[in-house]
Amino acid sequence: MHIHRLEKIWLIFGAAMLGVFLTIIGVSAFASGNQPPSDATLIDPTKVDQTKPFDKPGLKKIDDDRYEAIIVAQAFQFTPKDMVIPKGATVDFLVTSKDVVHGFEIIKTNVNMMVVPGHINSIEYTFKEAGEYLVVCNEYCGSGHHMMATKIKVVE
Amino acid sequence: MNAISKKLRQFEMERGLPATVIGIKEAKLAFAHVSFSLVALLIGGLCGLLQTMVRTGVIPEIAGVGYYELLTAHGLMLAIVFTTLFIFGLLFSFLGQSFGRFEDFPRRLGWVGFWFMILGVILVTWMVLAGEASVLYTFYAPLKAHPVFYIGLVIFVVGTWIASGAMFRMYADYKREHPGVHPPLQAYMSIMTALLWVVATLGVAATILFQLLPLSLGWTDKVGIELSRTLFWYFGHPLVYFWLLPAYIVWYTVIPKIVGGKIFSDALARMSFLLFLLFSFPVGFHHQLLEPGISAFWKYVQVVLTFLVIIPSLMTAFSMFATFELVGRRKKATGIFGWVKKMPYRDVRFLAPFIGMLFFIPAGAGGVINASHQLNIIVHNTLWVTGHFHITVGAAVALTFFGTAYWLVPLLRGRTLTSAMNRLGLVQTAAWTIGMLFMSTAMHISGLLGNPRRTGPAAYFKDSLVADWIPYHVAMAIGGTILFISILLFLYAMFQLAFRTPKGTEEFPIAETEEEAMATPLFFENWKLWIFVTFALIAFAYTVPIWHMIENAPPGAPGWKLW
Ligand code: HEM
Ligand SMILES: [Cu+2]
Ligand SMILES: [Cu+2]
């Protein structure tokens, strides 16, 4: 099939750009480990309260600058509320849902993931700045969806 | 047009009936689809306007109808009903133009499909209004709507399958009667669009029939959520190409004629549509990048395939601007951008789709961002995404459909596009452009600030962040108001063009191919092969992750009605 010379240039240039983009995000994903949250851990959504570690939601200190935040999402709230985290700490957020799909977004950070019943999703984040962070549910979950939010305080 | 068609047309003209290129019976079928799509546009547009108002807090909920009922109706009416009905009307018009007259059987089948769609829409709308289905247009499991809602969806989809079957039959008939000849380009593209739709809807039909409907009826008490979402997005991405391809048909075959040019290349046009068929399906994970239970590796595989489907869009862009430049040259334009001055901006049939094309440039770039694996985390489920699809389907596609309706509706009704209506069309197009610029820009920016999508008037403990979003909500409401006015102008024009403007024969603008363009190879007609490759690619991208989902399924989740 004959293709016009200029179109060839355009398509080769376009495809090359796409190749560059894919290489960048591929290297970032597989060499630097910048993967989107894709946790494979399962949980019975009807027994969240009885299943470790979600039987005791809250912030747990693991190491000097390392914490684990165990969070349960349900219509229309997050448990625990109002967590306090020291500045500079790295937190592993482990979140699951007791009912429908929710979202977990900490505004002004790169923390954003889907919370799906039957699954535990997780993401790591280091709080480098003190202040109040707003956490919202960003997936429609019912009539009170816009009230589903909590706060994280990062203190010096 | 074949000999019988010519005779029939002669006959219709002698009897003083509307003399269109498309037969009267064919025109009726197409017009039925288009007219009902406009009703959906009105209802959906009104909901959209109210949403922007409720979100700013200008008005509270109206008579118990809250934000999410509005949003469910808006998404369904515009993303599903308006688009699908308009598109089927358009495809029947293209086939009418390509084949002359339809045989009785496929034409009647077309009507059966139409009434199925209407029945489905009525059932679904009834459930939404009754507050039994506030599940948004994506009805994600385990939200549990009333069974009638799902039954309505199924009837609607079956209607589209019947209508698509009618089209496939027409195409097959034509091929049988014209061995060794390429069916006309518009017909090829229309069939490709219908085929894409049928293959796509298999996924959504599967999750409704085997997961959501049984759950809603109480036959099962648990549902596998990730499987359901995966089946939904296997449909959800090709859905956007189902919206886009009819607009591309107009860009490829109609716009060149209106600007006084020719189709740059018939073969490359077919090639780009073929690539859309092949690469539209194995990419649904780019909507599920932040979900648990799907491995990051398979997400990346689908990201790569997503980028491949950008190539046919690059081909389309080239074709369009090549056509414009060739026209410009013929009209003595000089320099690279000389053609810009030679385009018929005062012709709404050109202006509206052309602005749509311009919208598609940033929209395409935004799409690349959204699909970029880890970059998605910044925008996922924020208003950025809502801004994105208002400039793709809500601007590029909608404006193309508007610009097409200005000649198609009078043509189907045996009337003409008057210069007064053309002027009104220019104003209406300008209003849509301005309204959309306001609304979608505000959505994009506030999304980057973290403002979540699909969210009613949120106070969030009066956080200072929320105060930052207010100006954007106001801009959305201003844009929404201008957009709604534009819809009213459009519907007024459509009413005039369908029932009031002088009788006559409106031209069906359809371009010829450039002389020096190459001949079209016959492999495009090898449907068995292409359908096989399509399913092979689907199998490649989905078998392992779906197998994994079933093999490692969590204990099922019960359904919930949380509204
Ligand atoms: C009068 C014109 C329009 C206005 C004022 C408008 C406004 C809006 C608003 C405010 C939202 C909700 C934002 C959110 O909370 O997430 C929305 C969502 C949406 N709009 Fe529009 N829109 C208009 C036209 C259109 C058109 C023409 C289409 C498509 C053909 C469209 C498709 C959608 C879709 C698919 C959604 C997402 C629904 C969901 O998230 O469930 N809109 N629109
Ligand atoms: Cu929510
Ligand atoms: Cu997509």
Q: Which domains does chain B have, with CATH numbers?
A: 23-551 (1.20.210.10)
Say whether both A110 and A149 belong to one domain.
yes
Q: Given an 8 Å threshold on Cβ–Cβ distance, is A14 in contact with B314?
A: yes
**Span A123-151, average pLDDT:** 94
Q: What is the DSSP letter of A148?
A: -
Asked if residue A40 belongs to a domain, the reply is no
Q: What is the pLDDT of residue B465?
A: 83
CA-to-CA separations, B205 to B151, B225, B363, in angstroms, rounded: 11, 15, 29
CA pair distance B302, B283, nearest whole angstrom: 5
Whole-angstrom Cα Rg for chain B: 23
Shared domain check, A54 and A3: no
Decide if B225 and A117 are in contact by the 8 Å CB cutoff.
yes
Whose alpha carbon is nearest atom 26 of ligand 1? B394
Higher pLDDT, B23 or A136: A136
How many interchain CB pairs under 8 A, A with B? 225
A83 and A108 in a single domain? The answer is yes
Residue A140's pLDDT is 96
pLDDT for res B7: 58
What single string gives the DSSP state of each residue in B149-201?
Answer: HHHHHHHHHHHHHHHHHHHHHHHHHHHHHSTT-PPPHHHHHHHHHHHHHHHHH
* Residue A13 pLDDT exceeds 50: yes
Nearest-5° angle of CA B129, CA B131, CA B132? 110
Q: What residues of chain B score a pLDDT lower than 50?
A: 1, 16-19
A14 domain-assigned: yes
B489 lines ligand 1 (CB under 6 A): no
In DSSP terms, B210 is beta-bridged to: none
Window 29-48 of A, Cβ < 8 Å to B: 29-30, 34-46
Strand-pair partners of A42: A119
Residue A142 lies in a domain: yes
Whether B213 and B127 have beta carbons less than 8 Å apart is answered as no
Cα separation of the two ends of chain A: 67
State yes or no: pLDDT of A54 exceeds 90.
Answer: yes
Whole-structure pTM value = 0.94
- Tell whether A113 is covered by a domain: yes
Set of chain B residues whose Cβ sits within 8 Å of the Cβ of A15: 311, 314
Cβ-contact B102, B170 below 8 angstroms = yes
Mean model confidence pLDDT for chain A: 92
The angle formed by the CA atoms of residues B205, B224 and B554, to the nearest 5 degrees, is: 160
> In Å, how far is A71's CA from the nearest CA of chain B?
15
> How do A131-136 and A77-79 pair as beta strands?
unpaired
Residue range(s) defining the domain that contains residue A26: 1-35
Q: Does any ligand 1 atom lie closer than 6 A to the CB of residue B52?
A: yes
Nearest CB neighbour to A146, from listed B456, B554, B557: B456
Residue nearest to atom 4 of ligand 1 (CA): B48
Residue A103 belongs to some domain of the structure: yes
What is the average per-residue pLDDT within A99-120? 95
Looking at the domain assignment, is residue A23 inside a domain?
yes
> Which residue in B230, B280, B193 sits closest to B535, CA to CA?
B280
Contacts of B222 (CB under 8 A, 6+ apart): B215, B555, B556, B557, B558
From B55, B77, B78, the mutation candidate for ligand 1 (largest count of ligand atoms within 8 A of CB) is B78
Contact between chains at B67 and A146 (C-beta distance less than 8 A): yes
Q: Identify whether residues A12 and A55 lie together within a single domain.
A: no
Residues B465 and B162: their CA atoms lie apart, in Å, by 50
Evaluate the omega torsion of the peptide bond into residue B438 and state whether it is cis, within 30 degrees of 0.
no
Residue A123 counted as domain residue: yes
Show Cβ contacts of residue B385 under 8 Å, excluding neighbours closer than 6 positions.
Answer: B370, B379, B447, B453
